[in-house]
Amino acid sequence: MVPDDRKYTDEHEWVRVDEEDGEQIGTVGVTDFAASELGDVVFVELPEVGSEFSQKDPVGTIESVKAVADLFLPVSGEVVEVNQAVVDRPELVNTDPMDEGWLVKVKLAEPEELDVLLDAAAYAQLLEG
Amino acid sequence: MSGVLRIYLDGVCSGPVNMARDRELLRSHRAGEDPVLRIYQWDPPCVTLGYNQDPQSFAGDEVAAAGYDLVQRPTGGRAILHAEELTYAVVGTSPGPLFGDTLHESYMTINRALLAFLSQLGITAEVSAGESRAEARGLVCFHSAGRHEIRTAGRKLIGSAQRRQRGVFLQHGSILAGGRHRELVRFLDLDPTARAKEEADLACGTTDLAAQLGRPLTADDLAAMGEDLARAFAAALGLRPEFMGAWG
């Protein structure tokens, strides 16, 4: 079951947008599929708070016992928070990738970019191949 | 055979050159292109650290004093001393039909080539089942055999690591050819007891081509084996080998 409260990329990232103090804040993570595919995660490298990125820029890496996968930002914007808990406990990416294992929060620069991302149904279809 | 495997038999290079070329292979590869294979050796010996490994955990000045290189890999995992080994690097598309859609399938596809290469040498090997998260956080790569690593008689012979981005991947791996990888322990910042344990673990837990074949191997021997390895890759992938010579 793919949650329908967020958008997805074909690189298996998700972004959920919330309104905070009049700003649109996107919380970004990787999907259950990505976490399962990588296997046991041992390191998470995240960007500096305050840094700005464009959509699809690489912003960090997730290293499992077998691979380093680059993390791409689904939307342009300024990083306003990173999840220090996953830096300290990378296994959160495996145990709860869709919630507690979120990675970065971004102040959206161009909210219309969300329109080109996959909705839950389209992402579910991607997973089914 | 519709596709081509471009092959660089790249001889012996320094650590910084080897890693720069592997990074360039990944940077320049586009999803859907035919895969590229590079096979190489190392001189001087080189300690490589995993992409996220802290360089402070190694005595870099002692590595330099020994005349060895020290360089970070674009891939994950832990430290390796590359001295007597044959190394492969392959870039390809995943998800895709050749290497499969998952990390596991890409490893298993490449493992078919590696196992065929070893079989031609008369070495029977197997793919290991896996290591724990705690082991994966240790300092020394060849200390433990991860899932998908290749072992013979219970000892690790080939260790590999992957970087994945934008639908393409780089996988490179060390085929141990002699016992000098065990020298890594001298550069670890450990107390004598812990150091002795690492030495024992590496001695008991790894093997190499020379030990398996019962004779020492020269750089020329390894160069010849490199060509056999390249042909094993092409055969396993069902591609026509296209030898490009050395890099550049």
CATH of the domain at A72: 2.40.50.100
Average pLDDT, stretch A54-58?
A: 95
Closest by Cβ to A68, choosing from B51, B102, B131: B51
Contact B42, B18 (CB under 8 A): yes
DSSP letter, residue A47? P
* Residue B248 to residues B8, B49, B218, B245, Cα–Cα distance (Å): 9, 26, 25, 9
Residues 6+ apart with CB under 8 A from B215: none
Q: Would A121 be classed as within a structural domain?
A: no
Contact B163 A38 (CB under 8 A): no
Give the domain ranges of chain B.
4-243
Q: Would A128 be classed as within a structural domain?
A: no
Low-confidence winner among A64-68, A72-76, B215-219 (lowest mean pLDDT): A64-68
Shortest CA distance from B134: residue in chain A? A42
Contact B166 A72 (CB under 8 A): yes
Contact B230, B223 (CB under 8 A): no
Average pLDDT, stretch A106-114?
A: 97
**A129 beta partners:** none
pLDDT at B139: 66
Average pLDDT, stretch A50-76?
A: 94
Distance CA A76, CA A110 (A): 6
Contact B245, B7 (CB under 8 A): no
Shortest CA distance from B133: residue in chain A? A40
Low-confidence winner among A5-9, A48-52, A82-86, B166-170 (lowest mean pLDDT): B166-170
Cα of B171 to nearest chain A Cα, Å: 9
* Structure tokens, A4: 């329908």
Q: Would A126 be classed as within a structural domain?
A: no
Q: If you count them, how many residues does chain B have?
A: 248
**Stretches in chain B below the pLDDT threshold 50:** none
Chain B contact for A127, CB < 8 A? no
Distance CA B155, CA A47 (A): 39
Shortest CA distance from B137: residue in chain A? A42
Q: Would A84 be classed as within a structural domain?
A: yes
Distance CA B239, CA B143 (A): 34
Chain A contact set for B102 (CB, 8 A) = 37
Q: Around A65, how many Cα atoms within 13 Å sit in the side-chain half-sphere? A: 23
Q: Would A81 be classed as within a structural domain?
A: yes
Question: B109-113: long-range contacts at Cβ-Cβ below 8 A with a sequence spacing of 24 or more?
Answer: B109/B236, B109/B237, B110/B160, B110/B171, B110/B173, B110/B233, B110/B236, B111/B148, B111/B150, B112/B236, B113/B229, B113/B232, B113/B233, B113/B235, B113/B236, B113/B237
Nearest to B209 by CA among B160, B156, B145: B156
- DSSP E strands: which ranges in chain A? 7-8, 13-20, 23-30, 41-45, 52-53, 58-64, 67-72, 77-82, 104-108
Q: Around B97, how many Cα atoms within 13 Å sit in the side-chain half-sphere? A: 7
Contact B146 A58 (CB under 8 A): no
pLDDT at A66: 78
Q: Is B141 a catalytic residue?
A: yes
Q: ipTM, 2 decimals?
A: 0.79
A window 32-51, beta carbon within 8 A of B: 37-40, 42-43, 45
Which CATH architecture fits B4-243?
A: 2-Layer Sandwich (3.30)
Distance CA B123, CA B232 (A): 14
pLDDT at B57: 77
Which residue has better confidence, A83 or B101? A83
- Name the residue range of residue A65's domain: 7-112
Closest by Cβ to A67, choosing from B103, B137, B166: B103
Nearest to B183 by CA among B77, B44, B35: B44
The CA dihedral of A45, A47, A53, A55, to the nearest 10 degrees, is 30
Distance CA B114, CA A62 (A): 27
Task: Please determine, for residue A96, whether its predicted confidence score (pLDDT) is greater than 80.
Answer: yes
Q: Would A14 be classed as within a structural domain?
A: yes
Nearest to B214 by CA among B121, B107, B92: B121
pLDDT at B134: 59
pLDDT at B199: 87
The CA dihedral of A34, A38, A40, A43, to the nearest 10 degrees, is -90
- Looking at the structure of chain A, the number of domains it has is 1
